[in-house]
Amino acid sequence: GENVEQHPSTLSVQEGDSAVIKCTYSDSASNYFPWYKQELGKRPQLIIDIRSNVGEKKDQRIAVTLNKTAKHFSLHITETQPEDSAVYFCAAKNSGYALNFGKGTSLLVTP
């Protein structure tokens, strides 16, 4: 089955700096790659997603890049703010039903 690896497990940055989280996947048939943000005590919420026919997608301070050949995708957050502090999960999905999640990255943005 699909195996999604996510790094780093924890990340601490200063406010205003950029943060990058990387994920790799094993199933070359995966074609949908969402990123979820989960604040402490709250539900995971989708922040951005990308499909395999696109190499990059941007939404304000958040961007995701996908390298299908290398089977990896990354989340980039620019101009980080304290409210960006949360756990971020990547996931990969093929034509089946399952979203296969990475273990999460705990991001801390310090003022």
Partner 1 sequence: ETGVTQTPRHLVMGMTNKKSLKCEQHLGHNAMYWYKQSAKKPLELMFVYSLEERVENNSVPSRFSPECPNSSHLFLHLHTLQPEDSALYLCASSQGGNTGYEQYFGPGTRLTVT
Nearer to partner 1 by Cβ, of 36 and 73: the residue is 36
Nearer to partner 1 by Cβ, of 8 and 16: the residue is 8
Among 19, 80, 89, 105, binds partner 1 (CB under 8 A): 89
Any bridge partners for residue 39, and if so which? none
**3-state helix/strand/coil string of the chain:** CCCEEEECCEEEEECCCCEEEEEEECCCCCCEEEEEEECCCCCCEEEEEEECCCCEEEECCEEEEEECCCCEEEEEECCCCHHHCEEEEEEEECCCCCCEECCCEEEEEEC
x/- site string to partner 1, residues 11 to 50, per CB under 8 A?
--------------------xx-x-x-----xxxxx--x-
Nearer to partner 1 by Cβ, of 82 and 96: the residue is 96
Nearer to partner 1 by Cβ, of 49 and 63: the residue is 49
Binding site for partner 1 (CB under 8 A): 4, 31-32, 34, 36, 42-46, 49, 51, 89, 91, 93, 95-104
